[in-house]
A and B are shown apart, each in its own frame.
Chain A
Amino acid sequence: MKAMYLAFAATIVLAVLANIALDRAGFSTEEVTSGPAVRLD
Chain B
Amino acid sequence: MALFRSLVVLLLLAAFSMTTGAGQAQTPEASEAPARAETGGAQTLEDILARQRGEQIDDSFRRTEIGDPGAAATMNEMLGTLGGASDSDVWRALRYNQADVQVSSRVAAAEVLMQDGGMRWLEFRSGPLKTYGGYLLLGMLAVLVVFFALRGRIRIDGEKTGRRMLRFSAIERFAHWMLAGSFILLAITGLVQLFGRAFIIPLIGREAFAPVALAGKWVHNNFAWPFMLALLMVIVFWLVHNLPNRHDLKWLAKGGGLFSKGTHPPAKKFNAGQKLIFWAVVVLGLSISASGLALLFPFQMPLFAVTFEKLNALGLPQLFGYGALPEVLAPHEEMQLAQAWHAIVAFVFMAIIMAHIYLGSVGMEGAFDAMGSGEVEEQWAKEHHSLWFEEEKEKQATASKKPAAQPAE
Contact = CB atoms under 8 A, between A and B. Distances in A.
Contact of B218 (A4, A6, A14, A19): A19
For the residues of A in contact with B, the DSSP-based class is: helix
B225 A2 contact: no
Contacts of A40: none
B386 interface: no
A35 B105 contact: yes
B106 interface: yes
Nearest to B177: A7
A33 B181 contact: no
A11 B170 contact: no
A7 B297 contact: no
Nearest to B185: A11
B177 A33 contact: no
B218 A2 contact: no
B194 interface: no
Given A14-B226, A18-B225, A3 B181 contact: no
Interface stretch (B202-210, B279-287, B369-377): B369-377
Contacts of B105: 33-35
Interface string B103-118: 1111100100000000
B227 to A, nearest CB: 8
B372 A1 contact: yes
A10 B174 contact: yes
A35 to B, nearest CB: 4
A13 to B, nearest CB: 9
A32 B8 CA distance: 84
B226 A11 contact: yes
Contacts of B222: 15-16, 18-19
A21 to B, nearest CB: 9
Interface string B147-191: 000000000000000000000001101111110011001000000
Contacts of A11: 178, 181-182, 185, 223, 226, 230
Interface in A25-39: 27, 32-35, 37-38
A35 B105 CA distance: 5
Contacts of A35: 103-106
B177 A15 contact: no
B219 interface: yes
Contact of A3 (B174, B223, B225): B174
A6 B174 CA distance: 7
Nearest to B219: A15
Contact of A4 (B107, B185, B223, B371): B371
B170 A2 contact: yes
B13 to A, nearest CB: 74
Contacts of B103: 35
B219 A33 contact: no
A37 B219 CA distance: 31
B229 interface: yes
A5 to B, nearest CB: 8
Contacts of B175: 7
Given A7-B175, A8-B181, A34-B105, A15 B297 contact: no
A23 to B, nearest CB: 10
Given A34-B104, A35-B105, A7 B181 contact: yes
Interface of A: 1-4, 6-8, 10-11, 14-16, 18-19, 27, 32-35, 37-38
Given A11-B181, A18-B225, 17 more contacts: A1-B372, A2-B170, A3-B170, A3-B177, A3-B374, A4-B371, A7-B173, A7-B174, A7-B178, A10-B226, A11-B185, A14-B229, A18-B226, A32-B107, A33-B105, A33-B107, A35-B105
Q: Which 6 A-B pairs have the closest CB atoms?
A: A7-B177, A3-B173, A35-B104, A18-B225, A15-B222, A14-B226
30 contacts: A1-B373, A2-B170, A3-B171, A3-B173, A4-B173, A4-B177, A7-B176, A7-B178, A8-B177, A8-B178, A11-B178, A11-B181, A11-B182, A11-B185, A11-B230, A14-B225, A14-B226, A14-B229, A15-B182, A15-B222, A15-B223, A15-B226, A19-B218, A32-B106, A32-B298, A34-B105, A35-B105, A35-B106, A37-B104, A38-B104
